[in-house]
Amino acid sequence: MATATDLFISIGIRSVGVDRLIAESSVARATFFRHFPTKDDLVVAFLETQASDARRRLTLIRDQGPGGARAVLGEIAAGAKAGMDRTGFRGCEFINTAAEYCDPEHPVRVVVDRHRAWVRDIMADALSDLGHPDPDGTAEVLFTLRTGAVVASSLEGFRDSGGAFDRAWWGLVDQR
């Protein structure tokens, strides 16, 4: 799983073949296929692990007490900006995977869509906790802003040196 995670994040899912995964992880072919009958099974496991880690981290932040709702939104904003300071940033594994797996019924895409919906939901819950007048609509806009920032920083080198992302993000969060 560690080898798959490194390769999927650094090069992409479709461009990494099973033979390379087996060779670089130093596992026997039979062992690989015993755990993951298909490459898609490995991709699902990879995404489920990534999603579980994110859910655990954001839930812990939310449950930290007063300020937890705002801290969740801050963590999501920070995640959107993480690539702005990294050379060679390839973007979010869920956004990238959604681009590689377009069929909404495909098991891999189902995991992607379920995780992205969960992130929107925790943002809406946080906005609701803050007394926001339109938590669901604003969560959708924030999620779109986040997605755009990640894609722009990975494809176009967006760096936001003027702080426009933060002004837009917190302006939406703090509207009354």
Per-residue pLDDT tens for 77-117? 998 888 777 777 788 999 999 999 999 999 999 999 999 99
CA of residue 58 relative to chain centroid, distance:
12
CB 5, CB 51: distance < 8 Å: no
Q: Any residues with CB less than 8 A from the CB of 18 and at least 6 apart, and which?
A: 32, 39
Residue 53 CB neighbour total at 10 angstroms: 10
Look at residues 69, 80, 68, 82 and name the one whose alpha carbon lies nearest to residue 169.
80
Provide the greatest CA pair distance for the chain: 59
Nearest CA to 7 out of 86, 80, 93 is that of 93
Distance between CA 70 and CA 79 in Å, rounded? Answer: 14
Residue 11 confidence (pLDDT) = 87
pLDDT at position 49: 96
Two structure tokens written together for 149: 């920032």
What is the predicted pLDDT for the residue at 108? Answer: 97
Please, what are the averages of pLDDT over each run of 10 residues along the chain (176 residues)? 91 92 94 95 96 96 91 94 78 91 96 97 97 98 95 83 92 93
| 82: CB partners within 8 A, 6+ apart | 89
Angstrom distances, CA of residue 130 to CA of 70, 80, 85, 170, 171: 7, 21, 30, 12, 14
Measure the CA–CA gap between 166 and 7, rounded to whole angstroms: 31
pLDDT at position 158: 78
Q: What is the pLDDT of residue 147?
A: 94
Please give the pLDDT value at position 90: 84
The CA distance from 31 to 146, in Å, is: 39
Write down the CATH superfamily of domain 39-173: Tetracycline Repressor, domain 2 (1.10.357.10)
Looking at residue 66, its pLDDT comes to 83
Quote the crossing angle between the two packed helices 107-129 and 93-100, to the nearest 10°: 140
Q: Which DSSP symbol is given to 133?
A: S
Sign of CA dihedral 43, 51, 1, 148: positive
